[in-house]
Amino acid sequence: MVKTYPHGIIILAVKPQARHDVFDSLLSEKASLTGCPLVISILAGVDEKLLKKELLPIGYNGPIVRLFPNTAVAIGSGASILCAEPSVSDEVIALVSSFASKVGLCLRVDPRNFNAYGAISGSAPAWVYMFIESLADGGVFAGCSRETALKLAAQTVMVIVVPFHFYDNLPFHCFHESGQAHAVDHQKHCL
C-alpha cells in the first residue's frame, strides 16, 4: 500500500506492541515514508518523540498527530482526543480534527496529559457498562426482572448526561451529602 500511494496519510492503528512488526515489514519491503505528508498515530501509550525516533529508519521525519478515539466512534457518537508537537501546523490539526469529528466529539488536549485524557475517554465506556449492570443487579435483588431493570438503568444513564450539552455544567450542588438528589428546574436551581 505504501509503495502504491507513497504520498498518502499514514494511520497507525495497531496495538502498540505490534507497531514493530509493521515497521519491520515496511523495512523488509524497502518501503519508504519519505514524502508522506502526515502520520496519525492511534497507538496507545506511544508518544510523538518515541514514534518519531522509530519512524526515522523508514524515512519519515514529518508531522505526527496522536489521536485516541473511544469505542463509541463505531456508532458515530464517540469522543476522540488529539495532540501534536507545537511544530505541527494548525492546518494539519484542523484536518485530523475534521476527520475525527465525523464520528463524534474531538478535542485537542495538552500532550503532557494525553494519557490521562485517554484513560477518561477510553475507559469510561467499560465503567459505565459496569455501573448500568450494577444498577440492574440492585433492581433484580429487589425483585425486578433483569430485562426491565437493564432497560431502565441504561435509559436513565443515557438521558442523565444530556444536560451537559445544554448547560455550562450540571448542578452538582443540588445533591445532598446523603446522596439524595433534590429536584432541579431548568434554570439550574435547586427546588
> Which tens digits make up the pLDDT trace of 143-186?
999 999 999 999 999 887 777 666 665 656 566 565 555 555 44
The three cell numbers of residue 168 are 455550562
**Boundary of a domain, candidates 102, 117, 132:** 117
Task: Classify residue 14: in a domain, yes or no.
Answer: yes
33-52 pLDDT tens trace = 888 889 999 998 899 999 99
User: Given this model, what pLDDT does residue 175 score?
Assistant: 60
**pTM of model > 0.85:** no
- In this model, does residue 191 exceed pLDDT 50? no
User: Given this model, what pLDDT does residue 178 score?
Assistant: 59
User: Given this model, what pLDDT does residue 78 score?
Assistant: 92
Task: Classify residue 183: in a domain, yes or no.
Answer: no
Task: Classify residue 185: in a domain, yes or no.
Answer: no
Strands of the 78-84 sheet, one edge to the other: 10-12, 39-41, 64-69, 78-84, 104-108
User: Given this model, what pLDDT does residue 190 score?
Assistant: 46
* DSSP secondary structure, 23-71, as one string: HHHHHHTT---TT---EEE--TT--HHHHHHHHGGGT--S-EEEEEE-G
Task: Give how far Cα 115 sits from Cα of 30, 83, 105, 126, 171, Å.
Answer: 33, 11, 17, 17, 28
Phi, psi of 78 (to 5 degrees): -85, -175
Whether residue 50 sits in one domain with residue 108: yes
The whole-angstrom separation of Cα 16 and Cα 172 is 38
Residue with more model confidence, 2 or 117: 117
Tell me which amino acid residue 57 is.
P
Whether residue 68 sits in one domain with residue 109: yes
User: Given this model, what pLDDT does residue 11 score?
Assistant: 94
Q: Give the CATH number of the domain where residue 170 resides.
A: 1.10.3730.10
Domain of residue 105: give its range: 10-117
Whether residue 126 sits in one domain with residue 98: no
* DSSP secondary structure, 82-132, as one string: EEE-TTS-HHHHHHHHHHHHTTEEEEE--GGGHHHHHHHHHHHHHHHHHHH
* Dihedral sign computed on CA atoms, order 59, 61, 63, 66: positive
User: Given this model, what pLDDT does residue 4 score?
Assistant: 55
User: Given this model, what pLDDT does residue 130 score?
Assistant: 96
55-109 pLDDT tens trace = 999 999 999 999 999 999 999 999 999 999 899 999 999 999 999 999 999 999 9
User: Given this model, what pLDDT does residue 182 score?
Assistant: 54
- In this model, does residue 10 exceed pLDDT 70? yes
